[in-house]
Amino acid sequence: MSTPTLTNADASMARFESQTTRYGSLTMTAGLILSLLGPIYLVFFSGLQISPSMLLVALAAVAATFGVFWIVEPLTYFPILGSAAMYQAFMIGNISNKLLPAAIVAQSAIDAKPGTRRGDLAAVMAIGGAATVHLTSLLVFVGIFGSWLVSVIPTEMIEVARVYILPSLMGAVLVQAIVAMKQVRPTIVAIALSLIMYFVVIPLLPSLALFGTALVVLFSIIVSWIVRDRKAIHTPAAD
C-alpha cells in the first residue's frame, strides 16, 4: 500500500507551521522574560520589602478579574486567526479591537474561510499590516503631531469620539463576523444569550458583570453545539 506524497503546497505549509511554532514560542518566551524583568527588580532589588503573601494576594486579585479570559480568549480567537497569527496577536495586543477585525476583513476580502490555509495566511498578513499601520500612525500622529492635533481639535469632538468610537468599531466587527461566518444558528444563539445576560442576568446578579462576556462565549459554544444541524453534509474546505 503506497503512502500519500506531499505536494509542494503541503510541504511549504508544513514547514511554515513548524517554523512558526518554533520561533513563535521563542519570541513569546523572550517577551515574557523581558516583561518580568521590571517586577523582578522591584521585588528583589528595590528595597520595597514586598513579601510573598503580598504577591499571592495581588495574583489572586488579578486572576479573579481576568483569569477567565486567559482560557476564553485563546479558545475564541484561535478558530479565526490560526496558530501563526495567534503568536502575533498575543505579542502585539489589542486583539479584539484591532487585530481580529483586520483578520476578519482580510479573510472576507479574499473569500477565505477561517480555519483554512488561506484564512490563516490572510490573518497573518492582515495582522502584520495592522501592526505596521498602527506603529506608523503612532509615530506620525502621536509622536510628531500629537500635541498640535490635540490643540486644534475641539474638546467636544474628542469627547464624542471617546464615547462612540468603541461601540461603532465593535458593531462593525460583529456585522463583519456574521457575514463572513454565514452561520445562522450560532449567530442567533450568541445574540440571544448576550441579550439575556445584559438585560436579565446582570441586573439580577450584578456580581457576574465582570464575567458576563466569558459566560456568554462559553454558553454560546455549548448551546450552538447542541442545536447544530446534524443533517448537514460537511465537505473538506478548499484551501
φ, ψ for residue 163 (rounded to 5)?
-75, -40
**CA neighbours within 13 Å on the CB side: how many for 238?**
1
Pick from 216, 214, 224, 218: which is nearest to 186 by CA? 224
The answer to the question of residue 185 being in a domain is no
Position 26 scores a pLDDT of 93
CA 203, 208, 214, 218 torsion: positive or negative? negative
The answer to the question of residue 210 being in a domain is no
The answer to the question of residue 84 being in a domain is no
The answer to the question of residue 226 being in a domain is no
Q: Which residues of the chain have pLDDT under 70?
A: 1-6, 232-239
Domain that holds residue 4: 1-50
The answer to the question of residue 139 being in a domain is no
Position 29 scores a pLDDT of 92
- Are 179 and 187 a contacting pair, CB within 8 Å? no
- Are 108 and 179 a contacting pair, CB within 8 Å? yes
- Are 112 and 181 a contacting pair, CB within 8 Å? no
Helices (H) and strands (E) in the chain, counts: 9, 0
Total count of domains within the chain: 1
Position 232 scores a pLDDT of 61
Position 4 scores a pLDDT of 53
Hunting for cell 479574499 — which residue is that? 110
**What is the C-alpha to C-alpha distance for residues 111 and 122, in angstroms, rounded to an integer?**
10
The number of residues in the chain equals 239
What's the chain's Rg over C-alpha atoms? 22
Q: Which three cell numbers stand for residue 4?
A: 500519500
**What is the C-alpha to C-alpha distance for residues 162 and 183, in angstroms, rounded to an integer?**
32
Pick from 191, 170, 162: which is nearest to 96 by CA? 170
- Are 91 and 115 a contacting pair, CB within 8 Å? no
Position 67 scores a pLDDT of 77
The answer to the question of residue 11 being in a domain is yes
Strand, coil or helix: what is 112? coil
The answer to the question of residue 41 being in a domain is yes
Position 179 scores a pLDDT of 74
The answer to the question of residue 4 being in a domain is yes
DSSP-derived secondary structure letter, 48: -
Q: Which amino acid is it at 161?
A: A
